Every structure is written in C-alpha cells, then in structure tokens.
Amino acid sequence: MLCYAALRLLYVPLPLPHSIELEHELMYFGQWVNYTMLAGLVAWFGVRVGEVWSHHHRRTQQEAEQEARDRSLIGLAALAAGAAHEMSTPLSTMSVVVGDLRRGAKLPADWKVSIDMLWQQLQICKRSLSDMVRAADIEQLGRTRSVSARQFVRDLLDHFQLLRPQVPIQLQFEPIEDSLALRADHTLPQALLNLVNNAADASPHAVELRVRQNDLALVIQILDRGPGIAPRLRERLGKGPVTGKAGGNGVGVFIANSAIERLGGTVRMFDRKHGGTRVQVELPASVAHELDPGEHPGGAGAEIRQ
C-alpha cells in the first residue's frame, strides 16, 4: 500500500513506444503477478490457520482426557484413604494374634513356616499403610528423591517375593552404570509392583523381569505367558480402570500408568509371539552425583536370578 501511494504521488511515465498493445500487456502482467502473490498469501494463511486449529483441537482433547484421569485418581485416592483407615484396626488385631502364635511353643512344624510368612505379609501391609499416610502429607506431595537404579530394581523384586513367595520370577540384568539414578517418589515402586502383580496373575509360573540401560533411561520389561490383552481393552489402557480378569477392579494399570507418566516415563504393552504380554516401562534417569541417604549403587555386570 505504501508503494502504491508513493507511485501515485511520484508517478513518472516509462519511456515506451506509443503502443497500446504493449501497455495492455504490461498491465495484465502486473495484475497477474499481484493476484498470484495475493493467492499464495491467502493459501499460506489458510494452511497455517488449519495447523493451529488442529494443534488446538488435539491439545483440548488431551487436556480433557487428563482432567478425566485426574478426577478418577482423586476419587481413587479418597477411597484408598478410607480403606486404609478401615484396615488399620483389623491389621493391628491380626498382628497381635499372629504374634502370639509365633511365640507359642507348641506349634506343628508345618504351621511355623506358614505363620512366619503371614507375619511378614502383615508387616508389609502395615508398612504400606504407613507409606500411604506419609505420602499424603501436604509437604511431601510432588517431592522426589534420587535413588540408585540397580538398587531400586532389587528392592522392587525383594518386595514382590515377600508378597508372593510362591511365584518364581526371573530377573535378568544387562550391564547398567553404577551411577545411573532415578528420580522416584512413593508412588513409583507401587506402580511397578502393580504391573508385576498383573503378570503374576496372568501366568504364575512364567514371569520375567528384564532390566537394561538405554542412554540415560532405565528400561524395565515385564513378560508373562498369559492370555494377553483383548484389543477392545488395549485402546482404553491408561485412560481409566480397565480389567480383563474375573473379579478384578482394573485400577492397577490405570494407577501405574498415571504414576509413571507423572515422573516423565512411559508405559507400553505388546503381545508376545507365542502368547502373553510384554510391558515395557521407560524411566528417565541421570548420572547421580549424590544419592539420598540409604541409597547405594550395586555392582556392575549382568545378572540372572531365579
């Protein structure tokens, strides 16, 4: 527009031969260039508007799904708090009874093993309730700690074997740097434990745990030989409670997926070639310069434990 205004005021005729045809050709050429540039500008603007709208639409959908997940998690948290309050009294009663039985002098030999196992599992339940109460502290919300990746996996396996000693699990460690550390909170061990428990429910005698390092990420694969995941359920995984087990409530995978994503990780599920499911969890890691007290890296090298 400025150029046209300047041309209007500072018009100087071109020294052309007096030819009407040449003048018309130049005028048509100028109009063609003008319209072409204008059409290109409008087309580019339309494409950009479409891209922005698509991005906004996808973001709106993601925010709506995230809001729905948050509402579900808040409801589950309220139910968990109520259940923890209700469980505290019977757990204390059972601990007293089982403790008296352990101290009894006249117990059959086969009872002793079962009572000791029951005592250990009661202590795990009480410790889990204590962790839940401690995690609910407003000052602890969102707080993470740096833990050794190798020690984290070992603690997870030890916790699982205490809960379900009858389920054999094979652990395969590929070489991992001693300095590899995770940022974890109280929900991360429980999230992975839920996934391992699901694999044990699907195939109690064929559960594998494979751990490896991928650059600065810890990759944990949980494998089973169960019936797999139905396609109609796979699409809903991570979006809400979903279960394919009889009597299951479907909150395990939902809570696990939410907890791992909140810490920057990912959860993916695949069908295995000869039946079963492979759950792959990737957790962002870093090179630890200082670990939290009580955390220490384990030795390097590959390890297979049954």
Summarised one tens digit per residue, pLDDT across range 162-219 is: 778 888 888 888 878 878 888 887 778 888 888 888 888 888 887 899 998 888 888 9
The per-residue pLDDT for 92 is 72
Q: Which residues of 155-171 are buried (b: 16+ CB within 10 A; e: fewer)?
A: ebbebbeebbeebebeb
Most confident range, picked from 88-97, 110-119, 189-198, 292-301: 189-198
What is the percent of the chain where pLDDT is above 90? 12
The DSSP call for residue 227 is: -
**CA-to-CA distance for 294 and 282, rounded, in angstroms?**
24
Q: Model-level pTM?
A: 0.58
Supply the pLDDT for residue 305: 44
pLDDT at 85 over 70: no
Q: List, for residues 248-306, the tens digit of each pLDDT value.
A: 445 667 778 878 888 888 888 888 888 888 889 998 887 655 555 544 444 433 443 44
Do the beta carbons of residue 178 and residue 300 sit within 8 Å?
yes
Q: Is 29 helix (H, G, I), strand (E, B) or coil?
A: helix
Query: Who wins on pLDDT, 60 or 26?
Result: 60
Distance separating alpha carbons of residues 238 and 260, to the nearest angstrom = 11
Residue 47 has pLDDT above 60, yes or no: yes
31 versus 143: the higher-pLDDT residue is 31
pLDDT at res. 215:
80
- Span 216-244, pLDDT tens digits: 888 999 999 888 777 666 666 656 555 55
Going by their DSSP bridges, the two strands 277-287 and 266-271 should be labelled as antiparallel
Q: Which two tokens stand for residue 129?
A: 């309730």
More confidently predicted of 79 and 168: 168
pLDDT of amino acid 135:
57
The per-residue b/e assignment along 114-145, b for 16 or more CB within 10 angstroms, e otherwise, is: ebeebbeebeebbebbeebeeeeeeeeeeeee
246 secondary structure, DSSP code: T
Would you say 19 and 26 are in contact if contact means Cβ atoms under 8 Å apart? no
pLDDT of 132 > 80? The answer is no
Specify whether the CB–CB gap between 172 and 304 falls below 8 A: yes
What number of other Cβ atoms are within 10 A of residue 260's Cβ? Answer: 22
pLDDT at 133: 60
pLDDT at 136 over 60: no
Place of tokens 């527009």: 1
Residue 57 has pLDDT above 80, yes or no: yes
DSSP 292: P
Q: Higher confidence at residue 241 or residue 158?
A: 158
Answer for the pair 194, 281: CB distance below 8 angstroms, yes or no. no
263: tokens are 């810490």
Please compute the mean of the pLDDT values over residues 105-124 and round it to a whole number.
75
Average pLDDT over residues 65-86: 66
